[in-house]
Structure formats: C-alpha cells, structure tokens
C-alpha cells in the first residue's frame, strides 16, 4: 500500500523516475500540483512516454511534457463532448423523422416493447423523478411515454437501446454505419464527460474495453470502422490496424464517422471539422 505524500515528496518521487524539471522548475511544479491538478492524474500521462523497464525510469521525460499533454487531453475532451452532444441530437432527429414517416408505428407501442425488453430502463427513468432537470417531464408523461418525449429523459445508453430496437423492428431506414458505431460513441462520450484521461493510453492502451474479445483474448476493432477506413487512400493496412487497436483512437475515429453520417447540417459539419 502506498503512503500519502506531500507535494514536495511527490516531486521527489517524480525525480526518482528520472522525470526532469528543466523546462518547469521544481518550485513551479509544486505550485502546479497544488493549484492546477493533482499528482495521480498528471502522473498517469507518463504512461505515454518511453520507459526503461530494467532501470525503472523514464527516458527523456520532462515535467513540462506531462503538463502539456494534460492540457491537450483537456482540449480533446472538450471537443469530444461537443461533438458527442451534436451527434446525439442528430440521432434523435433521425429517429423521430423516421418514426414520423412510419405508418406502422404510433410512437407509443414501441415504448411498451422497450420496457418489456429492458424493464430496468423504466426504473432508470423513475430514479430521476425528483432529482433531475427532467423531473417535470417524467411526472407529466410517466404513464404516457412516446418516442418524442422519452428521448428527452433517457440516458444515452438507454437511448441507444431504443434506437437499436426501433431499427430492429423497422429496418427500412436502418444505417449499418450508424448502428455499428453507437457504442464507441457512448464509451468515449462517457469517458470525456467524467473527466477521464484519454491521452495517457497512447503507448499502452487500456485492455478492459468494449472492444475486448474474451474468446480470442485480443482487442477487436469494429468491422464497420475497419471497412470505412479502407476507403481512405494513403493509409496502409498495417498503420490502420495498429492505430485502431487503441480503444481511445478507435472510439474517437468512430465518433467522427458517426457524426459525419448522421449530421444533416453542412454548416455544423464544417464548424466541427475545422475546430
């Protein structure tokens, strides 16, 4: 069990791992760890740098590099959150538009099926009745749910269940690309929203992921994403395979493709892709 350390001791620990203080001096590093971030979070970015396993030290790593990577991580998370919210909005637009033109579905019947197939979703909604921004909606429609009002109170994971169920029952307007990239969006969206570090996995990707195939004991990328990437020229098969074996890179690229597929606003597309 590791003991609690003062900030000064944290600096000593970093130095013992050969992390330098040439660009940011030790006193400034103490101030940074005191007022801007904390040791455990910042130190996690060291995993993205070269490490000598024999000597148990980092190679050519300065404290300033950790600071810079943590800032880039923050900017990336902010971008992903905005991209994810826009994508979620257009997924709802697609679902409701397809429902509007579907004479076989009244918008209520499918919610009954949703609650039968996933009874916990109704419980999830009820848990929000008195302590969420959508509490008034829940009280108003709790016994009269339709697609167009329930999408406002569902968690994104529960919305995906509804989205998948609709196009399972009515596949006429089903998009293979959209349906296969929903879960990568959910994972990277949640990681960003919960302030989890993303760029600390560049050298050593995490393995406990929705992409992990227990049978094969490997990380297995989405076949749909692989297919989409093969259509992009000048990316070698080896490079493509190597990059998307990293779950963060995989899910981020999947989110870009999904946004491009579902967004119907050319202005918003240009704005997002120019950021």
Task: Identify which of 99, 85, 222 has the alpha carbon closest to the alpha carbon of residue 167.
Answer: 99
**Contact yes or no for 159/151 (Cβ under 8 A):** yes
Question: Helical H runs in the chain?
Answer: 7-16, 26-35, 39-44, 63-100, 109-117, 119-126, 135-141, 147-150, 156-169, 176-193, 223-230, 237-244, 247-262, 266-273
The reply to whether 135 falls in a domain is: yes
Residue ending a domain, among 134, 151, 169, is: 169
How many distinct structural domains can be found in the chain? 2
| Host H or E run for residue 58 | strand 57-58
Per-residue pLDDT of the chain (275 residues; tens, 9 = 90+): 888 999 999 999 999 999 999 999 999 999 999 999 999 999 999 999 999 999 999 999 999 999 999 999 999 999 999 999 999 999 999 999 999 999 999 999 999 999 999 999 999 999 999 888 999 999 999 989 999 999 999 999 999 999 999 999 999 999 999 999 999 999 999 999 999 999 998 887 766 677 777 776 667 889 999 999 999 888 888 888 888 888 999 999 999 999 999 999 999 988 888 87
Asked whether residue 239 is domain-assigned, the answer is no
Domain boundary among 69, 91, 113: 69
What is the residue range of 37's domain?
7-69
Alpha-carbon distance of 169 to 167, in angstroms, equals: 5
pTM of the model: 0.90
- Residue 224 inside a domain? The answer is no
The pLDDT tens digits of the residues spanning 5-50 come to 999 999 999 999 999 999 999 999 999 999 999 999 999 999 999 9
The answer to whether residue 40 sits within a structural domain is yes
The last residue of a domain, from among 169, 195, 214: 169
Calculate the alpha carbon distances from 204 to 67, 246, 247 in Å.
19, 8, 10
* In a domain? residue 225: no
Confirm whether 269 is domain-assigned. Answer: no
Q: Is 86 inside a domain boundary?
A: no
């Amino acid at each position: 069990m590791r003991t609690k350390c003062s900030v000064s001791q944290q600096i000593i620990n970093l130095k013992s791992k050969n992390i330098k203080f040439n660009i940011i001096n030790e006193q400034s590093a103490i101030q940074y760890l005191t007022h801007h971030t904390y040791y455990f979070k910042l130190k996690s970015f060291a995993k993205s740098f070269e490490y000598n396993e024999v000597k148990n030290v980092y190679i050519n790593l300065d404290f300033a590099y950790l600071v810079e990577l943590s800032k880039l991580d923050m900017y990336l998370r902010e971008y992903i959150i905005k991209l994810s919210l826009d994508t979620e909005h257009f997924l709802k637009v697609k679902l409701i538009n397809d429902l509007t033109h579907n004479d076989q579905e009244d918008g209520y019947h499918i919610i009954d099926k949703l609650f039968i197939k996933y009874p916990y979703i109704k419980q999830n909604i009820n848990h929000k009745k008195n302590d969420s921004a959508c509490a008034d909606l829940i009280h108003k429609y709790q016994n009269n749910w339709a697609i167009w009002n329930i999408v406002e109170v569902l968690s994104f994971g529960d919305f995906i269940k509804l989205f998948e169920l609709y196009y399972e029952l009515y596949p006429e307007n089903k998009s293979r690309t959209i349906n296969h990239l929903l879960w990568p969006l959910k994972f990277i969206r949640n990681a960003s929203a919960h302030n989890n570090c993303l760029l600390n996995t560049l050298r050593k990707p995490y393995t406990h992921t929705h992409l992990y195939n227990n049978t094969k004991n490997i990380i297995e990328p989405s076949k749909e994403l692989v297919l989409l990437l093969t259509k992009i020229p000048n990316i070698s098969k080896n490079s493509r395979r190597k990059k998307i074996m990293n779950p963060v890179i995989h899910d981020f690229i999947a989110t870009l493709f999904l946004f491009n597929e579902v967004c119907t606003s050319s202005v918003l597309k240009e704005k997002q892709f120019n950021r």
